[in-house]
Amino acid sequence: MAELLAVDGVTAGYGDGVVLDDVSLRLDEGDTLALLGRNGMGKTTLLVTLMGLTRLHRGRLSWRGADLAALPTHRRSRAGLGWVPQERHMFASLTVEEHLTAVARPGHWNVARVYGIFPRLAERRTNFGNQLSGGEQQMLAIGRALMVNPGLLLLDEPMEGLAPIIVQELMSVVRDLVADSGMAVIVVEQHAKLALSLTRQVIVLERGRVVHRGASEALLADPATLQRLVAVS
């Protein structure tokens, strides 16, 4: 498969503060990556660096062979990066359908397809963003990211604070997205076993540096190493 994303020796953070230190990774078209680590180790910072929301001190970001760092955030979205932030960022003044249509780009994903995978959003299409439950807001955040028709979906703590039945539903959706559309996915998730079960490869960050990289299946089968690296369930 063709290389989609390359991160080479990236050191980045907020202002003069450094959070990521010499981070490198590769992701091919349709590949899946779990990004694990304890709280405050740089996982979210890596995602927002990909979206252009931090200061890049050193290193290179490449998207389909072109320089990604030169693009502002809105152009990264147009280039094919779909971001589902941890905070979800619902707008109280927009309905469910307006959230989706406001960011729509031509391609496979449209409003009807999003409603097909999230029927509850169709039922609530005229509700405002702040009138949705936490699980419905997460569905909408994912659906909104799909509407830009991304080649890569960035999921930041997608299961946080959700009821187990909603977690299972979202996991099923993510698996289907990978299997049916060939979309690449990076998942940041405190529930390490969930993230590993969804992905092919894994990177673990410790104080902004990569301390482990390998196959998700292998780490999932090694609970002692997983406990040592991330100390989460």
pLDDT tens per residue across span 69-116 = 999 999 999 999 999 998 888 999 999 999 999 999 999 999 999 999
Rounded to two decimals, the pTM is: 0.94
Number of domains in the chain: 1
Q: Can you tell me the mean pLDDT for 109-124? A: 96
Do the domain assignments include residue 230?
A: yes
* Closest by CA position to 124, among listed 90, 104, 95, 100: 95
Do the domain assignments include residue 111?
A: no
Mapped to the 3 state alphabet, what secondary structure does the chain carry? CCEEEEEEEEEEEECCEEEEEEEEEEEECCCEEEEECCCCCCHHHHHHHHCCCCEEEEEEEEECCEECCCCCHHHHHHHCEEEECCCCCCCCCCEHHHHHHCCCCCCCCCHHHHHHHCHHHHHCCCCEHHHCCHHHHHHHHHHHHHCCCCCEEEEECCCCCCCHHHHHHHHHHHHHHHHHHCCEEEEECCCHHHHHHHCCEEEEEECCEEEEEEEHHHHHCCHHHHHHHHCCC
Contact 184, 153 (CB under 8 A): yes
Question: What is the span of the domain harbouring residue 200?
Answer: 1-80+151-161+183-233
Do the domain assignments include residue 122?
A: no
Do the domain assignments include residue 10?
A: yes
- pLDDT tens digits, one per residue of 136-146: 999 999 999 99
- pLDDT tens digits, one per residue of 24-61: 999 999 999 999 999 889 999 999 999 999 999 999 99
CATH number for position 8: 3.40.50.300
